[in-house]
Amino acid sequence: TVYDNQDIASKKVAQRIATLIKAKQEAGEKAILGLATGATPVGVYAELIRMHKEEGLSFSNVVTFNLDEYFPMKPNAAQSYVTFMNEQLFNHIDIKKENINIPDGTLAENDVAAFCLEYERKISAYGGLDFQLLGIGRTGHIGFNEPGSAPNSGTRLVTLDDLTRRDASRDFGGKENVPTKAITMGVGTIFKAREIILMAWNQKKASIIKKAVEGEISSDVPATFLQLSDHVEFILDKEAASEL
Ligand code: GLP
C-alpha cells in the first residue's frame, strides 16, 4: 500500500495497532506486539502516544517484544534500543514494565544462546505475536537478520553487515564505535506473527524495496522471504515505492 507521505501512512498503521489493542481489551485478552526501532516507526509511536493522551487508548493489556538490540550494549546508553523505546514510546504510555521485552545486550556471550531460547519460549507462552512491525535496512535486513540469514532462523546473536554499521555510525560518532554484533529475533520468529507490516519511507529505501518486493527470494536479501508469507503488508510512501 502506497501513501502520499509517511505521516499519513504512520497514522494508518497506528490506527490498526490501536484497533487490535481495543479488540483484545474487549475480549479480555492481551495484545502481543513485536516492535521495531530506527527512524521509520517513530511517527507510528508518536501517533500511539497521542491516542493515549487524547483518546484514552490504554496499553495496560499490551505485551511487547522488540526485534533486536546491539551487542554488547548497556540499557542506559544513548544508542541502546532500550533508551530508544523508552523515549519514543514506553515513557509516555501506561504499559506495565513487566510486559516490556527487549533483547539483553549486557549478557556474557556464553549466556546469549540460552537467553535467545528463553525469548522464543516467552513469545510462544503468550500464544505468539499478534502483530509485528518492521522497518528495513539497506542490506535488506529485517530486525538485524543480515544477508545470509535463513528463512527458519530463530532469535540469535548475529554479526552486523558493514553497510549496517556505516548507516548507524552517526548515532555512535563513527563506525568504529558501532558494535559488531546484535541479538535479533530470527526470520522464522518474525514469520510466526499473525500479521506483519513492513514500513519504508524516503528515496534512500527505494532500491532495497524493489529488491524485497520484486527480487528473487534469497537469503542475500532476507526481506525477500516476506514474499512467501500471505499475512505481510508493505506500507510505503511514494518515494520508497518509486522503483516498483
Ligand atoms: C536498524 C534496525 C532495524 C531497522 C533498520 C532501519 O538496523 N535494527 O530494525 O529496520 O535499522 O532503520 P531506519 O528505520 O532508521 O531506516
Q: 151 with 216: CB under 8 angstroms?
A: no
> Taking Cα atoms as reference points, which of 13, 230, 215, 51 lies closest to residue 3?
13
Residue 228, pLDDT score: 95
**Which value does ipTM take for this structure?**
0.94
3-state SS record for the chain: CEECCHHHHHHHHHHHHHHHHHHHHHCCCCEEEEECCCCCCHHHHHHHHHHHHHHCCCCCCEEEEECEEEECCCCCCCCCHHHHHHHHCHHHCCCCHHHEECCCCCCCHHHHHHHHHHHHHHHHHCCCCCEEEECCCCCCCECCECCCCCCCCCCEEEECCHHHHHHHHHHHCCHHHCCCEEEECCHHHHHCCCCEEEEECCHHHHHHHHHHHHCCCCCCCHHHHHHHCCCEEEEEECCCCCCC
β-strands 68-71, 131-134 pairing? unpaired
d(CA 85, CA 172): 17
Residue 131, pLDDT score: 98
Give 136 Cα–ligand 1 centroid separation in angstroms.
Answer: 6
For cell 528463553, name the residue: 118
β-strands 131-134, 31-35 pairing? parallel
Per-residue pLDDT of the chain (244 residues; tens, 9 = 90+): 999 999 999 999 999 999 999 999 999 999 999 999 999 999 999 999 999 999 999 999 999 999 999 999 999 999 999 999 999 999 999 999 999 999 999 999 999 999 999 999 999 999 999 999 999 999 999 999 999 999 999 999 999 999 999 999 999 999 999 999 999 999 999 999 999 999 999 999 999 999 999 999 999 999 999 999 999 999 999 999 999 9
d(CA 24, CA 58): 11
With a 6 A CB cut-off, is 38 part of the ligand 1 pocket? yes
State yes or no: is 146 an active-site residue: yes
What's phi and psi for 184, nearest 5 deg?
-135, 145
With a 6 A CB cut-off, is 36 part of the ligand 1 pocket? yes
With a 6 A CB cut-off, is 89 part of the ligand 1 pocket? no
Shortest-distance Cα residue to atom 3 of ligand 1: 143
Shortest-distance Cα residue to atom 13 of ligand 1: 38
Q: 55 with 14: CB under 8 angstroms?
A: no
Q: 146 with 211: CB under 8 angstroms?
A: no
Residue 188, pLDDT score: 97
What cell was used for 38? 530506527
User: Catalytic one among 47, 69, 146, 239?
Assistant: 146
Q: What are the pLDDT digits (tens) for 132-186? A: 999 999 999 999 999 999 999 999 999 999 999 999 999 999 999 999 999 999 9
Residue 47, pLDDT score: 98
Q: In the Cβ-directed half-sphere of 191, how many Cα atoms lie within 13 Å?
A: 19
Give 166 Cα–ligand 1 centroid separation in angstroms.
Answer: 12
For the chain, domains (ranges, CATH) are 2-237 (3.40.50.1360)
